[in-house]
Structure 1
Amino acid sequence: MTSPRAGSPIASNKGRARPRLVLASASERRRDLLAQIGIVPDRICAAEIDERPHKGERPRACALRLAEEKARAVAARLPLDPPWLVLAGDTIVAVGRRILPKAETRAEAGMCLSLLSGRSHHVHSALACLSHDGRLALRCVDSRVRFKVLDRAEREALLAAGDWAGKAGGYALQGRAAGVVTHLSGSYSAVVGLPLAEATALLAGMGWRAPDGEAAP
């Protein structure tokens, strides 16, 4: 039997070409999360889309739409051969039906912290997996997080840490904000940026296997 050429799709233990996995994200935390469970994308492509919510759009629906749009935006730039799977994700933090921004300024992060202080909020972490032949699978994990009541010093410390930049809701659970969370129900990895159990199941359902021929852990 001839071994696959360098650069060619890796054959699975069932004799089928393993699709190349493309992560539609420039987020280091998403790459790190996948690496924790042994999933290393073959390629990483940032998705350039308008991430603003539509008027009246519900938070969960917004997360699912944005994840799908990211997957499709990256897929449009890929060749059909070799076969590929695009994995994209989006995280929305909401207080009630109010969608909080992905904080870009200290003022935005401060506004988010004011809204989150002493309250529960929802984190909707959506996944989209799109194949080269047009198959699409979507998942969304809904988690609930509660912050303690933040005094001025705590708020300033969170802002000074700077790890809020670009984060949905203006905080990073894996950073300084871990010290102000009093309750979390749902998925820790989803709140950080990518629901790992669901990502594993989604990829397996779309036929992706790890390079060693075994299913992703």
Structure 2
Amino acid sequence: MINLISYNFNIKECETQLQEFESFLKENPAIKESGENGLQKFFAARPNLILLLGSWHFGLEPAYYKPELNLFGNEFRSDFVVADKQKKKFVFVEFEDADRDSIFKRKGRSSDIANSSYEWSPRYEHGVSQIVDWYYRLDDLERTNRFEEYFGRRQISYTGLLVIGRDHFVHESGLMQRFRWRSSKTVINSKLLHCMTFDQLLEESLEKIATLKNSDQLD
């Protein structure tokens, strides 16, 4: 059975942690995925930020999370997972480095940036492939005894989220529209593959927390 951590989402604490995230991005133009000052460690210490990632699945009210979840053993690993109270809805999250070449890599060694051509970086393709593999394995085992033993039910609703790179590096290459187009058009087995930079994650998270605050005040 999947072993998740129960946690009560707190809007005020999440606001504070989003401010810390904003400062973290400002202080570090490029950030590694792992390590002492890495993105995984930063988020692992802030459960409310992890739970907020659950909002990328429509209607998911976060109640459980876990860093570094191995899906069905050690075959595939998710950096973070968020689930609702009934463990029916899930968001599986993959973090990659936030470096210059995380999303696009310049072809050749030309020093003329204006006339350079770019290809998708190995780091980006690795991140996308991770989520494709999750979708493959989940679809492959759905409605089987093994799936039910792992999730406690034969079917779940889920989505994948890839967070990679920084806005300023993508703007530097002049390829933000190319990145946004692929991010919005990638559908695997009728499921969107959500992909964004860490700056976009911050921006959208601030909007989501503002919406939650307004909703809480109306209640």
Q: Same-fold call, TM > 0.5?
A: no
TM-score (norm 1): 0.28
TM-score (norm 2): 0.27
If asked which structure has higher relative contact order (CA below 8 Å, sep 6+), I would say 1
